[in-house]
């Protein structure tokens, strides 16, 4: 019985460590600000901004990697100048993450990279729904088997019966 609990606690600890690593990775590399936060905070470092490319505002030459558009948040829209590798996933009416820094003099956001919206909710949900029930199901089975073996031992079922047939049901 203690072996069962020891094994499972080791597994749970390992899973928690991986979850912590993953959430740290997401927080360090993948947290995004909204256009409103950019306008109010005026950050000077490189940041990620998430928003919707406003319809009818996308201009530029996508094949050479130059584009300008407005990134809309809930209330405000942030003008963005993109300059980088030809964007794979840039179009109007799409939620995008732009990576770059704010030009404080003009209020334009200078982006050098685009990324797709990071749907953590779905990813975390899928992993939890995929793995948690599996672990609980397996743990329950293992525990039951341990109990059954113990019960068989205690009720002396290993001792030979007087009856001859060995139907195992």
Partner 1 sequence: MLTRGKKIGIIVSLLLVAGALAYLALGNFGDNLVYFFTPSEVVAFSSEHYDQKVRVGGMVVKGSVKSQSNPVGMTFELTDGAATIPVTFQGIPPDLFKEGQGAVVEGVWTPAKDFHSNMIMAKHSEDYMPIELRRAGVKLPKKDFMKTLVQ
Partner 2 sequence: MISALIKWMQRYEGWVGAGGGLCILAGLYLGLVASPPDYYQGEVVRIMYVHVPLVQTGMLAYSTLFIGSLWYLWKRDPIVDNLCHAAAGISAFFTALGLITGSIWAKPTWNTWWTWDARLVSFAVMFLILVGYLMLRTFVDDPEREARYAAVLAIVGFVDLPIVHFSVEWWRTLHQPLSFSMRGVSMSKPMLIPLGIMTVGFSLTFFYMLMVRTQMLYLDHLLTAKKGRLLSQAHLSSDVGSSPSSLSTP
Residues that bind partner 2 (CB under 8 A): 11, 14-15, 18, 21-22, 25, 30, 88-89, 115-120, 122-123, 125-127, 129-131, 133-134, 137-138, 141-142, 144-145, 148-149, 151-152, 155-163, 166-169
Q: Which is nearer to partner 1, 39 or 117 (CB)?
A: 117
**The 3-state secondary structure of the chain, one letter per residue:** CHHHHHHHHHHHHHHHHHHHHHHHHHHHHHCCECHHHHHHHCCCCCEEEEEEECCCCCEEEHHHCEEEEEEECCCCEEEEEEECCCCCCCCCCCEEEEEEEEECCCCEEEEEEEEECCCHHHHHHHHHHHHHHHHHHHHHHHHHHHHHHHHHHHCCCCCCCCCCCCCCC
**Residues in contact with partner 1, shown as a per-residue x/- string from 46 to 85 under the rule CB under 8 A:** ------x-xxx----------------------------x
> How many other β-carbons are positioned within 10 Å of the β-carbon of residue 120?
13
Instruction: From the list partner 1, partner 2, none, pick the one residue 86 interacts with, judged by a Cβ distance below 5 to 8 Å according to partner type.
Output: partner 1
Given 27, 61, 63, 88, the residue binding partner 1 (CB under 8 A):
88
91 lines the binding site for partner 1 (CB under 8 A) = yes
Q: Which is nearer to partner 2, 83 or 142 (CB)?
A: 142
Residues that bind partner 1 (CB under 8 A): 52, 54-56, 85-86, 88-89, 91-95, 116-117
């Amino acid at each position: 019985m203690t072996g069962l609990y020891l094994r499972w606690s080791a597994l749970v600890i390992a899973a928690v460590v991986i979850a912590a690593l993953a959430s740290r990775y997401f927080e360090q590399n993948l947290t995004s600000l909204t256009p409103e936060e950019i306008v109010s905070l005026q950050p000077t470092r490189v940041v990620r901004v998430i928003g919707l490319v406003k319809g009818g505002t996308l201009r530029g030459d996508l094949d050479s990697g130059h584009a300008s558009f407005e990134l809309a948040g809930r209330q405000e829209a942030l003008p963005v100048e993109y300059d980088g590798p030809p964007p794979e996933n840039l179009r109007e009416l799409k939620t995008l993450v732009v990576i770059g820094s704010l030009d404080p003099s003009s209020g334009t956001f200078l982006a050098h990279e685009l990324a797709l919206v990071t749907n953590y909710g779905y990813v975390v949900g899928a992993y939890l729904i995929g793995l948690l029930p599996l672990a609980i199901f397996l743990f329950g089975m293992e525990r039951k088997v341990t109990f059954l073996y113990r019960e068989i031992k205690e009720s002396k079922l290993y001792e030979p019966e007087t009856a001859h047939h060995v139907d195992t049901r």
